[in-house]
Amino acid sequence: MQGRFYVDAAYDYENVNASELDPGRALTSSSRSNDDIFAASLSYGVTNDLSVSVGEAYDLESSRGGFSGAEELTRYDRGFENPNFDITYRILRPSQYPVSLDVTAGFSPDIVNARSSTITEDGTVARGGGVYDVHLAIGRQTPFVTIQGILDASYLGRETVNGADGETSTDSAYWQESVGLATQSRFSDRLSLNLEAEYDFSSDFNGLVEPEDVASVVHSGPFGQAYARLNYHIIPDQLVGSLEYVHGFYGASRVTFPADAEDDSEIRRSANTVGVRLWYAFR
């Protein structure tokens, strides 16, 4: 609403398991990572149809793994992510039309240094490149249920990560598109349940490791997520607490090396996230 500020604060714990296979489908390495994510955003209603927001997150990530049959080693990455800036405009109001229609434009500038970790030196969690995003959501609201369809397109700019060992890894820019379906069921004035499913289409991009000049092509597989969030209005329409669970379904990704096909690999992942969230509206 016009002239009001909103604060959203969250803590998430994410666990990711990954395995890497060689061209003969034999296991070459595996890893398990745990990530503590502290995030917050501030939004402001410029008008009843226009809002702006800024968000930031701080991550503490540990990853343990190694080559098959070898000793497992632990690495740590920590620090701030690149901030997010969003502007949302409501094209159709549900009070005037059968559906609502919102469009959001987002930008995450590359301002935090991206550095990979070693077993003796911590790395950072920043991506190493900027991200531009356009998000379209069309919804239908009834007294007890809201359903929303989502289309999203992100342009992930050139990514550069500096290695603590002197290497530099660079990935080319690429587009990432996704579709989603979200619902909210309201059981009372205080209790509601959000369910959401998202599907990200596969993308291809080029990689280069310097100074060795090792070139690769990454074929990232499709990716799906299923969300469940239970909300309770501690103070109706002003303070809301939520518990959430997210499961990530990863399609297999392939990395090919034009100079040596024997180094080609297939990567499989799975992810689970649990979290808590507080949303507050200033009056």
Provide the 3-class DSSP secondary structure of residue 124.
Answer: coil
CB 191 within 8 A of CB 215: no
pLDDT, tens only, 136-158: 999 999 989 999 999 999 999 99
The distance between the two most distant Cα atoms of the chain, rounded to a whole number of Å, is 64
> Closest Cα to residue 206, out of 195, 221, 220, 190?
220
pLDDT at 94: 87
pLDDT at 112: 93
Quote the pLDDT of residue 179: 98
Nearest in space to 257 (alpha carbons), one of 212, 208, 222: 208
Asked whether the predicted pLDDT for residue 166 surpasses 90, the reply is: no
Higher pLDDT, 69 or 32: 32
Task: Output the pLDDT for position 279.
Answer: 96
pLDDT band at 263 (very low <50, low <70, confident <90, very high): confident
CA dihedral (72, 214, 257, 128) in degrees, to 10, reads 70
Q: For the whole model, what pTM was predicted?
A: 0.91
- pLDDT score at 9: 98
Reported confidence tier of residue 211, pLDDT bands at 50, 70, 90: confident
In this prediction, residues 192-217 reach a mean pLDDT of 93
Give how far the C-alpha of residue 51 lies from the chain's centroid of Cα atoms, to the nearest Å.
Answer: 22
Quick check: 25 pLDDT over 90?
A: no
Name 154's Cβ contacts closer than 8 Å, sequence gap at least 6: 131, 132, 133, 134, 175, 176, 177, 178
Question: Quick one: DSSP state of residue 236?
Answer: T
Q: Which residues contact 170 (CB under 8 A, 6 or more apart)?
A: 158, 159, 160, 161, 207, 208, 209, 210
User: What is the pLDDT confidence band of residue 65, given thresholds at 50, 70 and 90?
Assistant: confident
Query: What is the spatial distance between Cα 115 and Cα 97, in angstroms, rounded to a whole number?
Result: 49
Query: Is there a cis peptide before residue 109, judged by omega within 30 degrees of 0?
Result: no
Per-residue pLDDT at 67 exceeds 90 = no
User: Which residues have CB under 8 Å from 96's CB, separation 6+?
Assistant: none
| Residue pLDDT, tens place only, 197-209 | 999 998 999 999 8
The mean pLDDT of the chain is 93
Contact status, residue 174 vs residue 203, Cβ threshold 8 Å = yes
